[in-house]
Copies of this chain bind each other. A is one copy, B any other.
Amino acid sequence: MSTLTEKRHTLAHLLAAAVVQQYPHAKLTIGPAIDTGFYYDIDFSGGPVLGDDGLKDIQKVMKKLLNGWTEFTHKEVSKEEALAHFEGNEFKTELINEIATQGETITLYTCGGFTDLCRGGHCEHPNKEIDTDGFKLDKVAGAYWRGDEKNMMLTRVYGLAFDTKAELDTYLYQLDEAKKRDHRKLGKELDLFTFSDLVGSGLPLWTPKGTVIRHELDRFIWELRSKHDYQRVTIPHITKKDLYQTSGHWDKFADELFRITTREGKEYALKPMNCPHHTQIFDRTPHSYKAMPQRYAETTMVYRDEQSGELGGLTRVLSITQDDSHVFCRHNQIKEEFFRVWDIIDTFYGSFGFKLRVRLSFHEPTKMEKYLGTKEIWENAESALRDIAKERNADYFEAQGEAAMYGPKLDFMAKDSIGREHQVATIQLDMNLPERFDLTCINEKGEKERIVMMHCAIMGSIERFSAVLIEHTAGNFPLWLAPVQVRILTVNDSLAPYAESVLSALKALEIRAGVDASSESLGKKIRAAKVEKLPYFIVIGDKEKEAGTVTLESRDGTSTSLSVNELTARLAEEIATKKI
């Protein structure tokens, strides 16, 4: 059976065949498989140009042609034969001359009577392997020949392609949902963050509502960490160059480092990560083995000088808030410490309904020269990670060659509510910084013993996690996280004192509540609460006032009559259990 990539590549040929049948003047250029399907860049300058409105017809032709695409054949040809075949097509001519100059073999692939210049990689029997309902022409766009803006502008025809119709439908649904849930759109609508032209792109400013979410998320992480005896530390955002020369980041982060020259001409940098600073806190004093491990946590911003064209929403920013932690431990404590962090990750992501998959990112055994430390240290460390993954019955897979230079890592992938997978937390084992900063503890024999470090940010960054969470929940945050948890709506002004007494009861429990005291109609107040996606709103009329009750309306449409005590108890319980 063919791979999906081979099917997509085959479909690029099929697209080309359909196009030249309908648009005989079209000149083909190149057409590869891509992540979600395929495309073909075509020069229509000799006649009518294919637009979005012509895609349906082409798709029909493709489906019809597919029946006759029973088998791919290919032959090696000489440069002259190839040039003759594509006479009049200056694009293919350029490609053929290049292949010949590089001394490579020129091959032509044919199927269903259609022949194209190609290196291969197709379905052998397209008509049997490709599901005619598993692909769909998507859109046309402009593209310069060979991506160079000095060249001619061609028409790029995009197609989506999956193994089955169900998978295509899932992808289309995700695409559609993702558009509706786009965190940039919802972030503005729900007033969570903003950008200012004066401050610059990639530098989000968090509004009061957005900041509530940041604080609640960070508080949750700290709650989980403090159960595992983490301690918070605090560092400044800058440092002398010396720190990063010792750590190696001055060279490694060359381009991404925001550099500062002081009034006295000294070189400083804005931190792109926290580990080097944290080593200096660890190293302020000698540590007995009895005081190991030391677990430091700090939620703080780091800064990376990204190219402005790459910035967008919360996913690519210049100021990144990491919920960072560093564990300084002995080799024989690695397993337990990974276990602790994994517990935190499981609880945190589980509480939002994310399903996790884990990649054990190991070293490439044949390329030991790429890594720091002996083969034995690596094998011990990786075997410890594998044991942990087994012990936890985790959904994991191993990937050789994916380790960092300084140690193996666990990479966590979270599947969101519309089926997309996001790489989230990473636990990294680091045998490098302890060497560079000469970090030790005093062991049972009274000798200095080299320690190891573990890096782990549970959310990765608050910005990126917020983006994922906004899209995962479509802005319908669980009660504990909602910036406004409840709003009280009154049917008429005479109910204001009763509304205030209910509000006080809620505020006494630190529930984020308010009263809509505007002169709008109840209907309008309800609509406003729904637009803001509040988890709950409370309606108070004369009947409720007399009975000393409230009507609690949830975001999903259920309505319940409760006494004020029942109300506070129910909300407090839902908040405490972080119900989703």
Quote the shortest CB–CB distance from A425 to chain B (angstroms).
22
A268 to B268, CA, bound (A): 15
B198 touches A242 (CB 8 A): yes
A210 CB contact (under 8 Å) in B194, B234, B260, B296: B234
A238 CB contact (under 8 Å) in B214, B215, B255, B303: B303
**Cβ contacts under 8 Å, A259 to chain B:** 260-261
A235 CB contact (under 8 Å) in B205, B264, B283: B205
Query: Which secondary structure dominates where chain A touches chain B?
Result: mixed
B191 touches A285 (CB 8 A): yes
Q: Mark A184-208, 1 if CB is under 8 A from B, else 0.
A: 0000000100101111100111111
- Is A263 at the interface (CB under 8 A from chain B)? yes
Quote the shortest CB–CB distance from A535 to chain B (angstroms).
19
A237 to B304, CA, bound (A): 12
A206 to B406, CA, bound (A): 27
Quote the shortest CB–CB distance from A64 to chain B (angstroms).
51
B215 touches A232 (CB 8 A): yes
A235 touches B206 (CB 8 A): yes
A214 CB contact (under 8 Å) in B196, B234, B260: B234
**Cβ contacts under 8 Å, A318 to chain B:** 236, 238
A474 to B268, CA, bound (A): 34
A240 touches B199 (CB 8 A): yes
Question: A242-B198, A264-B308 given as contacts; is B237 within 8 A of A301 (CB)?
Answer: yes
A270 CB contact (under 8 Å) in B194, B238, B243: B238
Quote the shortest CB–CB distance from A151 to chain B (angstroms).
25
A281 touches B319 (CB 8 A): no
A264 touches B199 (CB 8 A): no
A281 to B200, CA, bound (A): 13
B191 touches A205 (CB 8 A): no
- Is A211 at the interface (CB under 8 A from chain B)? yes
**Cβ contacts under 8 Å, A256 to chain B:** 263
B280 touches A270 (CB 8 A): no
Question: A258-B262, A270-B270 given as contacts; is B236 within 8 A of A198 (CB)?
Answer: no
A239 CB contact (under 8 Å) in B199, B280, B281, B305: B199
A214 to B307, CA, bound (A): 36
A239 to B238, CA, bound (A): 15
Chain A 259-311 residues near chain B, CB threshold 8 A: 259-264, 266, 268, 270, 276-277, 280-281, 283-285, 296, 301, 303, 305, 307-308
B238 touches A211 (CB 8 A): no
New contact pairs (20) apart from A191-B284, A260-B260, CB-CB < 8 Å: A198-B239, A198-B240, A198-B243, A199-B235, A199-B236, A199-B239, A199-B277, A199-B280, A200-B240, A200-B242, A204-B236, A208-B232, A212-B232, A214-B234, A236-B318, A236-B319, A237-B301, A237-B303, A237-B319, A263-B305
- List of 5 A-B pairs having minimum Cβ-Cβ separation, nearest first: A236-B319, A208-B231, A206-B234, A196-B280, A200-B240
Query: What would 15 A/B residue contacts be, using CB atoms closer than 8 Å?
Result: A196-B280, A197-B242, A199-B239, A199-B280, A204-B236, A206-B235, A208-B296, A211-B232, A214-B234, A236-B301, A237-B301, A238-B319, A258-B262, A258-B268, A264-B308
